[in-house]
Amino acid sequence: MAESRGTYLCYIIAFVALCQTCKLVWITTSTVGNTKEESRTFNAKLELSAEQKSRLKTIERECEKYDEELKLKSRKDAIPHMIVDDERRILFCDIPKVASSNWKRVFIDDLKIKVNGSSNIRDVHAKRLLPDLRYYTPEEQDYRLKNYFKFMFVRHPFERLLSAYRNKLENREIEWIPSTKHSVDYEGNYYHEKEVIMRVKTEGPNNKNTISFSKFVDTLTDPGYRMKHYNTHWKQYHKLCHPCFIRYDFIGKLETLPEDLAVIHNATGLYLEKWLHEKERTTSPTLLNKYYKTLHPDKIAHLLSMYDIDLAMYEYDKF
């Protein structure tokens, strides 16, 4: 009898191990929440334009093309930073430098978020201010991924990269710290960047040392730079939002912001009236040319290689 119980226990352990293995295989070979055979959550409410259909179809095609390259190692890797709105049944993948601050203000207002009893929140990027899908249980994540309206917004990767540089590094006082050259730091905050630390100085004008756009790109395109540690302000879209594993219902672009916001408003009921009448500032061709013409053609080629999947996946022309 004891031997039989021992054998039975072994079967149970083996079955549990098999289930865990199957779960890992599933996360690396299928979409999260929805399978390709399942219809998108809110399509019944959306009148998709020909352009939007093209965006969604292109993503599906590129995901098949880069299937092996884009496989993830674990479930944790597959769940991005997504703002959760349970009342409206919305999941929004937040991407820095793609109107991120405006979107957070929209959800702060919609969810009636308050800090110390006040709705006048100055730091919309405060950690854990808004509900984040990453901190839900796997069961809660699966339910929302399958049943909620999922959307994201992008812009041309080169525009976003320049916007991040101008906002975070340009005209700031930088201190190069060669002894800890395996990370990058700005505004006193450490990020897991590789190659060099850049710290905003406070000593005064005599110690100024600014970083040029060319030097910034040199850092990003250095062969020793570990891409998996890119700061979120210039990390690739497909590594932030995992569109090959999460089947999005809508892909918006800053270049078509008014039209796309109108669709989001009609589909979800989010209050976007103030924003609908504003044009999100984008980087002008003149400004892009001013900065990118300082780069050697080899560096441009490196950047195109870095963002090649995003450029193809979101139908952007190469610079």
- pLDDT one-digit tens code per residue, 39-62: 444 544 567 889 999 999 999 999
Quick one: 126 and 268 in the same domain?
A: yes
Highest mean pLDDT of the ranges 11-20, 75-84, 120-129, 290-299:
290-299
Q: Provide the domain limits for residue 248.
A: 31-162+241-313
- The answer on pLDDT for 307 being more than 90 is yes
Quick one: 62 and 181 in the same domain?
A: no
What's the domain count of the chain? 2
Residue 4 belongs to a domain: no
pTM summary value? 0.78
Residue 10 belongs to a domain: no
Quick one: 75 and 185 in the same domain?
A: no
Quickly state the pLDDT bin for 284 (edges 50, 70, 90): confident
Q: Which residues touch 274 (CB under 8 Å, ≥6 apart)?
A: none
Quick one: 65 and 214 in the same domain?
A: no
Q: Render pLDDT for 125-136 as a digit per residue (tens, 0 to 9).
A: 788 899 999 999
Question: Looking only at Cα atoms, what is the longest distance across the chain?
Answer: 84
Q: Are 95 and 153 in contact (CB under 8 A)?
A: yes
Residue 178 belongs to a domain: yes
Rounded to 5 degrees, φ, ψ at 16 are -60, -45
Residue 127 belongs to a domain: yes
The pair of three-digit structure tokens given for residue 189, joined into one six-digit string: 């905050």
SS3 183: coil
* Closest residue by Cα to residue 191 from 163, 217, 169: 169
- The answer on pLDDT for 67 being more than 80 is yes
Domain boundary among 208, 229, 250: 229
Domain boundary among 195, 229, 263: 229
Quickly state the pLDDT bin for 219 (edges 50, 70, 90): confident
